[in-house]
């Protein structure tokens, strides 16, 4: 193979081309960042030794405290303004071809100005519970490879982080804002594996407003109704957002829903009865935000029709009881006289029988005595 290429590189044959590339391929390098220049020779030849040149000088670039040369790589570990310039490279080897063409120039720009990321938010106006909020962090200058970090309320650790290779920025999205998301936010931007280069934006304030300032449940004609009367329960929500979002209403009695609607906040009972008593609450939901009213206890009063009916039943029972008692007393009186008369009759008969027996016994004694006298 080596002999074939040597034969091909006879008179009129061009030497292989050296190609210089940059890793990472950022168009702008900032102080303290690291960058590597790599030299490669086309054509499949091996065993190249590489030399780097800067700004058209004949003297090759040498390694120093901030840079090192290893194989086909010239690595700058911590860039400074002195590293800015146009770089070229070429390869040399033992054998034919003994050296390559010099590469095209690669311009390395090292900026001493530290770019400051800019933080914006969408929407820019008032934010309500349930809204989607996006914070965008952008480093101006068009150079990509940034890693973005978001911080809140001076906390040491970031609340979120992303990577971006496009250089157009990255976003931190709060899909459903809550009151707890209110606070001061800022972002940081850095590049490299260890994010050695990091700058911070100015902070912005995010204030999340309550979607509902209050939710109330009212009863008409009142919380105390008469049996059989109509009852209307109305759920109302004071919405702070304009235009007003669509609301979903739920009215609950003793923990069980009695109505569930997006059309009406009214729950009507045409004729109340005992089963309608209990503790009622209403809940309003929109944009993932749900809030409930305080409990409203509905009591049922007995109507005058029912009172009259109950009074009639009580009176009817008392009258029947009184009549029955009087009849029983009268019966007992009558029964008591008969028993008394029967007792006296039996007593007289017994006395007569006793007197008759005594008379017979006396007559017998007299007769017996008379015989003895004779």
Instruction: Concatenate the DSSP letters of all residues of 90-105 into one string.
Output: EEE-SSSS-B-BPPPP
Could you say which DSSP state residue 14 is in? P
Residue 150 phi, psi (nearest 5): -115, 140
Among the residue ranges 124-133, 136-145, 203-212, 354-363, the one predicted with the least confidence is: 354-363
Q: What is the pTM of this model?
A: 0.64
Per-residue pLDDT of 80-114, as tens digits, reads 999 999 999 999 998 888 999 999 999 999 988 87
Could you say which DSSP state residue 345 is in? H
CA atoms of 173 and 332, how far apart (whole Å): 97
Confidence of residue 6 (pLDDT cuts 50, 70, 90): very low
User: Half-sphere exposure of 105 toward its Cβ, with a 13 Å CA cutoff?
Assistant: 10
Per-residue pLDDT of 16-49, as tens digits, reads 999 999 999 888 888 888 999 999 999 888 899 9
Evaluated on CA atoms 314, 315, 320, 326, the torsion sign reads positive
Tell which CATH classification among 2.40.110.10, 3.40.605.10, 2.60.40.10, 3.90.180.10 matches the domain 2-111.
2.60.40.10
- Cβ burial, residue 200 (10 Å; 0-12/13-18/19+): middle
Among the residue ranges 94-98, 164-168, 357-361, the one predicted with the least confidence is: 357-361
Confidence at residue 308, expressed as pLDDT on a 0 to 100 scale: 55
Give the 3-state secondary structure of residue 198: strand
Q: Using CA atoms of 355, 359, 360, 361 in order, give the dihedral in degrees to the nearest 10.
A: 100
Superfamily of domain 212-301: Immunoglobulins (2.60.40.10)
Tokens of 258: 């009695």
Share of the chain above pLDDT 90, in %: 54
Under 8 Å between Cβ of 300 and 225: yes
Evaluated on CA atoms 69, 73, 74, 77, the torsion sign reads negative
**CATH architecture of residue range(s) 118-209:** Sandwich (2.60)
pLDDT of 65 strictly over 60: yes
Task: Tell me what the mean pLDDT of segment 188-193 comes to.
Answer: 80
Tokens of 34: 């690291």
Sequence spans of domains, the chain: 2-111, 118-209, 212-301
Give the 3-state secondary structure of residue 120: strand
Task: Tell me how far CA of residue 370 lies from CA of 197, 362, 365, in angstroms.
Answer: 168, 12, 9
Helices (H), the chain: 2-8, 304-373
Per-residue pLDDT of 253-305, as tens digits, reads 999 999 998 878 999 999 999 999 999 999 999 999 999 999 999 999 875 55
- Cβ burial, residue 85 (10 Å; 0-12/13-18/19+): middle
Instruction: Concatenate the DSSP letters of all residues of 218-246 into one string.
Output: EEES-SEEETT--EEEEEEEEE-SSSPPP
2-111 and 118-209 share one fold: yes
């Amino acid at each position: 193979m080596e002999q074939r290429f040597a034969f091909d590189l006879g008179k009129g044959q061009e030497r292989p081309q050296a190609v210089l590339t940059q890793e990472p391929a950022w168009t702008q390098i900032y102080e303290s960042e690291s960058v590597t220049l790599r030299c490669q020779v086309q054509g499949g030849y091996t065993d190249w030794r590489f030399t780097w040149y800067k700004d058209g000088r004949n003297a090759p670039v040498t390694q120093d405290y901030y840079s090192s040369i290893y194989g086909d790589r010239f690595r700058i570990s911590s860039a400074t303004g002195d590293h800015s310039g146009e770089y070229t490279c070429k390869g040399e080897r033992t054998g034919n071809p003994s050296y390559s063409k010099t590469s095209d120039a690669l311009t390395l720009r090292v900026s001493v100005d530290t770019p400051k990321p800019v933080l914006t938010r969408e929407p820019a106006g008032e934010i309500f519970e349930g809204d989607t909020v996006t914070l965008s962090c952008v480093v101006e200058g068009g150079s990509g490879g940034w890693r973005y970090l978001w911080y809140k309320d001076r906390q040491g650790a970031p609340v979120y982080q992303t990577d971006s290779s496009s250089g157009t920025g990255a976003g931190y999205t709060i899909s459903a804002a809550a009151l707890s998301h209110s606070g001061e936010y800022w972002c940081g931007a850095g590049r490299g594996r260890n994010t050695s280069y990091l700058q911070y934006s100015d902070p912005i304030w995010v204030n999340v407003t309550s979607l509902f300032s209050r939710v109330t449940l009212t009863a008409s004609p009142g919380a105390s109704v008469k049996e059989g009367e109509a009852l209307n329960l109305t759920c109302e929500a004071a919405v702070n957002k304009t235009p007003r979002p669509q609301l979903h209403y739920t009215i609950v009695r003793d923990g069980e829903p009695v109505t569930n609607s997006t059309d009406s906040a009214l729950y009507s009972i045409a004729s109340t009865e005992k089963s309608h008593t209990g503790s009622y609450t209403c809940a309003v939901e929109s944009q993932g935000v749900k809030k409930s009213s305080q409990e409203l206890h509905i009591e049922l009063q007995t109507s005058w029709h029912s009172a009259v009916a109950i009074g009639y039943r009580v009176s009817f029972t008392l009258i029947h009881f009184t009549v029955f008692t009087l009849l029983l007393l009268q019966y007992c009186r009558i029964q008591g006289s008969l028993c008394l008369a029967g007792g006296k009759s039996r007593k007289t008969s017994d006395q007569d029988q006793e007197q008759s027996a005594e008379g017979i016994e006396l007559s017998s004694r007299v007769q017996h005595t008379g015989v003895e006298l004779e």
